[in-house]
């Protein structure tokens, strides 16, 4: 708590020494990825979160180029999908992502899901380590992993992910996993950070919105920022992109944080990572 931010360019430090914008935007289920990426970057966002499975990496790259924002100022994330796990297959998958994006390097690439039953995520991780050594990828991380799976990556390769992107919102707060990340120097990044709007009408969120003059969505995004998470809300509308960015001119009280903590139900919107894939 108490994380101070000045604007949407606020960054978090990765354990590699590099930084990542704390607030970005996601391209899941975004049809006009080129247009949305261009608009978001022109509006001031600097992190674009995509994935091979989203089917819009080409648009992601087009939007980056059309925005006029220098490439070195844009943090680009994409992900290796489940059916491309394994050492050689991952190498090919990342080269294909680079080609679709039209980029020489990716700032951060994630293993999208552990798919533990397949037993390939360590080999996939080794491939990402090799790509990082070659300079094709700047930083490497995971998505939807649990602490034991992260520890296995570290034990078998000596390399810890810089980040774990997980479902996280007021009804699924992942406190134990966030604590495990912090002990290992790993950033927690929240996907589906607004929880599908399920908490918008909750009296706790509504009361904070009234006090601050902000929307329920802005209150929840501010909560993510103040608990130290990176966060990637999604919006296809210019108004939504602007609203999601406008969260750095107010703060939650300690009592409000305690009240939001009481909203945790362990309720997932997405798949259970222990059984998906």
Handedness of CA 214, 221, 19, 12 (dihedral sign): positive
Burial grade of 60 (CB within 10 A; 0-12, 13-18, 19 or more) = buried
> Distance between the two ends of the chain, CA-based, in angstroms?
34
Distances (CA, A) of 122 to 128, 143, 154, 157: 10, 14, 9, 8
Of the residues 20, 41, 47, 54, only one is catalytic, namely 54
Tokens linked to 213:
């003059």
If one counts every other C-beta atom within 10 angstroms of the C-beta of residue 159, the result is: 15
Burial grade of 196 (CB within 10 A; 0-12, 13-18, 19 or more) = exposed
Counting every residue written for the chain, the total comes to 277
Q: How far apart are CA 164 and CA 191, in angstroms?
A: 10
CA dihedral 78, 84, 86, 87 (to 10 degrees): -60
Does residue 54 have an active-site annotation? yes
Residue 53 CA to its chain's centroid (Å): 15
Tokens linked to 171:
């009804």
Handedness of CA 139, 272, 49, 63 (dihedral sign): positive
Which residues are tagged catalytic?
A: 54
């Amino acid at each position: 708590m108490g994380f101070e931010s000045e604007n949407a360019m606020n960054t978090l430090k990765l354990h590699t020494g590099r930084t990542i914008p704390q607030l970005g935007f996601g391209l899941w289920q975004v049809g006009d990825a080129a247009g949305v990426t261009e608009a978001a970057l022109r509006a001031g966002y600097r992190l674009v979160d995509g994935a091979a499975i989203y089917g819009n990496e080409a648009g992601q790259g087009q939007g980056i180029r059309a925005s006029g924002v220098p490439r070195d100022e844009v943090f680009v994330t994409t992900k290796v999908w489940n059916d491309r796990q394994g050492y050689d297959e991952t190498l090919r998958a990342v080269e294909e992502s680079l080609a679709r994006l039209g980029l020489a390097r990716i700032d951060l690439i994630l293993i999208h899901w552990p798919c533990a039953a397949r037993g390939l995520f360590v080999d996939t991780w080794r491939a990402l380590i090799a790509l990082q050594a070659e300079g094709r990828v700047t930083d490497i991380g995971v998505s939807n992993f649990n602490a034991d799976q992260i520890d296995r990556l570290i034990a078998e390769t000596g390399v810890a992910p810089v980040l774990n992107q997980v479902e996280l919102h007021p009804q699924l707060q992942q406190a134990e996993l966030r604590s495990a990340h912090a002990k290992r120097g790993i950033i927690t990044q929240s996907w589906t950070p607004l929880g599908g709007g399920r908490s918008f009408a909750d009296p706790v969120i509504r009361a904070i919105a009234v006090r601050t003059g902000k929307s329920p969505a802005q209150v929840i995004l501010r909560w993510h920022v103040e608990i130290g998470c990176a966060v990637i809300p999604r919006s296809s509308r210019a108004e939504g992109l602007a609203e999601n960015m406008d969260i750095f001119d107010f703060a939650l009280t300690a009592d409000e944080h305690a009240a939001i903590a009481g909203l945790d139900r362990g309720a997932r919107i997405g798949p259970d990572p222990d059984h998906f894939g």
